[in-house]
Amino acid sequence: MKDFWQACVQKLEQELPPQQISAWIRPLVPLAFDEDQGVLRVSAPNRFKLDWVRKNFSHQIETLASDWFSRPVQVAFELPPGGSGRPAPHVPRAGGAAVAAGAAVQAPTQAVAPAAAAAAAASAATPPGAAAASAAAEALHDRSRLNAELTFDNFVTGKANQLARAAALQVAENPGVSYNPLFLYGGVGLGKTHLIHAIGNSLLASGKGARVRYVHADQYVSDVVKAYQRKAFDEFKRYYHSLDLLLIDDIQFFAGKNRTQEEFFYAFEAMVAQRKQIIITSDTYPKELSNIDSRLISRFDSGLTVAIEPPELEMRVAILLRKSENEGITMPEEVAFFIAKHLRSNVRELEGALRKVSAYARFHGKEVLTVDVCKEALKDLLSVSNGQITVENIQKTVADYYKIKVADMYSRRRPANIALPRQIAMYLAKELTQKSLPEIGDLFGGRDHTTVLHAVRKISEARLKQPELNHALHVLEQTLKG
């Protein structure tokens, strides 16, 4: 069991970014393997982490366990026996209404869980003093959905992001009074999410007991839908309007969601009027957002709008050196320069390269990272940057052809005008690159390999029957092959 867990974590380390490993995988504790039932029991430190790992990692862990034990294995996540998952007492809200914090955690509309109530719950349930204060802080942190690993300290600064970072620091120090809203925009993988988590973490760390909430726009949309189904809009409103800092990521996903936009408009007005801070990220600047109500767009533009640009060479080198140091990898500067010169698009890509290089070096017993080791380890990535067809190329070409955003290739949205181009891009990725189905799934926003397989089959069959589709595919193939 112990051996399995060690091997499992090692394997996951090769597949996931280090932040995900330390935030989600390391806190897990394997409890037991039930031979009769084929059930692996694993404990997660709290309800939030439990829900998250169950949703995002159970499939990977089950596959590894099934391989290891040579039989189908199911993973059962549970809270630790003592229960630091904090069962929920009913706590009176400031306004008098009683809200069950724990119920809110289980309920899909967990958005209605008031952070203040959680903090009050924690302090009410623990003896006074330092323990109570730290439990309250922990509760606030859990409710905030912030990733504690994303901080200002480990955010590398350069020309490309210095303005954004300065604005973020300013807002973290004076929330609600300097720039409201703060609107950060830029391409994929450039650090927008990192920066807004850093603001939230910094405000929480200041110990003012602020109610902070990070929410991805997609999650907000689904919270609105749930509130709608449950006729729980009052509760929904009360929760969002009660926050001190709302961090909302990838607002472009509000496009065409009228009810969501309306709710967000009210939350926005209420929060700004009370000098509560709102921070928004997007893949483009406000006026360029499509299918978003113009009154919202003008609100977005009413504070400070700052771009994050792709990092320049020196910054890419600095990022590689810093990240390798954090991972305990010794990377000579010439190696960092070599990688940075070849991989130019974004920080996420650099992180991926670093992971590949270190996994390759470990596997082949290379103790010193050299340019040659990197060339070998990054063969695929480097050929891509030398003009070969890449999944990124395909996504961009297909998005341009169908006049949708590249971001829609990774998004969870499923309207037909997006779903079909996305499936076409997956099909072309399988046809024109060496990537495996799981790798393609990852590059399309972490989708399962079965989704990719379904797309590949569907498009190959459809092109035989639909001349128009066949033509479109032909044009795309020619464009990509140059």
The binding site for ATP consists of: 189, 191-193
Please tell me the distance from the alpha carbon of residue 309 to that of residue 272, in angstroms, as a whole number.
28
Looking at residues 313 to 372 of the shown chain, list those that interact with ligand ATP (rule: CB under 6 A): 319, 347-348, 351
Residues 192-231 vs ligand ATP: string with x where CB under 6 A?
Answer: xxx-------------------------------------
The CA distances from residue 200 to 175, 213, 269, in Å, are 10, 8, 20
Please tell me the distance from the alpha carbon of residue 24 to that of residue 53, in angstroms, as a whole number.
7
How many Cβ atoms are within 10 Å of 451's Cβ, its own excluded?
16
**Shorter beta-carbon distance to ligand ATP: residue 115 or 320:** 320
- H or E element, residue 277: strand 277-282
Task: Check binding of 190 to ligand ATP (CB under 6 A).
Answer: yes
User: Binding segment for ligand ATP among 50-58, 98-106, 147-155, 449-457 (CB under 6 A)?
Assistant: 147-155
- H or E element, residue 99: strand 98-100
User: Could you tell me the smallest distance in angstroms from the CB atom of residue 191 to ligand ATP?
Assistant: 3
Please tell me the distance from the alpha carbon of residue 160 to that of residue 184, in angstroms, as a whole number.
13
**Shorter beta-carbon distance to ligand ATP: residue 155 or 444:** 155
Alpha helices in 378-482, H assignment, sequence order: 379-385, 391-402, 416-432, 437-443, 449-465, 467-481
Looking at residues 10 to 49 of the shown chain, list those that interact with ligand ATP (rule: CB under 6 A): 17, 19
Looking at residues 269 to 288 of the shown chain, list those that interact with ligand ATP (rule: CB under 6 A): 283
User: Could you tell me the smallest distance in angstroms from the CB atom of residue 188 to ligand ATP?
Assistant: 4
Closest CA to 385 of 347, 339, 429, 351: 339
User: Could you tell me the smallest distance in angstroms from the CB atom of residue 318 to ligand ATP?
Assistant: 8
Looking at residues 394 to 413 of the shown chain, list those that interact with ligand ATP (rule: CB under 6 A): none
User: Could you tell me the smallest distance in angstroms from the CB atom of residue 374 to ligand ATP?
Assistant: 19
**Shorter beta-carbon distance to ligand ATP: residue 207 or 445:** 445
User: Could you tell me the smallest distance in angstroms from the CB atom of residue 249 to ligand ATP?
Assistant: 7
# of chain residues touching ligand ATP (CB under 6 A)? 20
* Burial state string for 223-243 with b = 16 or more CB within 10 A and e = fewer than 16: bbebbeeeebeebbbbbbbbb
Task: Check binding of 189 to ligand ATP (CB under 6 A).
Answer: yes
Residue 74 tokens, joined: 């199911």
Long-range contacts, 318-326 (Cβ 8 Å, 24+):
318/156, 318/158, 319/156, 319/347, 319/350, 320/350, 320/353, 320/354, 322/154, 322/156, 323/350, 323/351, 323/354, 324/354, 324/358, 326/18, 326/154
Task: Check binding of 159 to ligand ATP (CB under 6 A).
Answer: no
User: Binding segment for ligand ATP among 106-114, 116-124, 182-190, 375-383 (CB under 6 A)?
Assistant: 182-190
User: Could you tell me the smallest distance in angstroms from the CB atom of residue 245 to ligand ATP?
Assistant: 17
Nearest residue by C-beta to ligand ATP? 191
| 3 state DSSP class of 187 | coil
Q: Which residue has the tokens 């991805």?
A: 216
Residues 91-130 vs ligand ATP: string with x where CB under 6 A?
Answer: ----------------------------------------
By CB under 6 A, name the binding residues for ligand ATP. 17, 19, 150, 154-156, 161, 186, 188-194, 283, 319, 347-348, 351
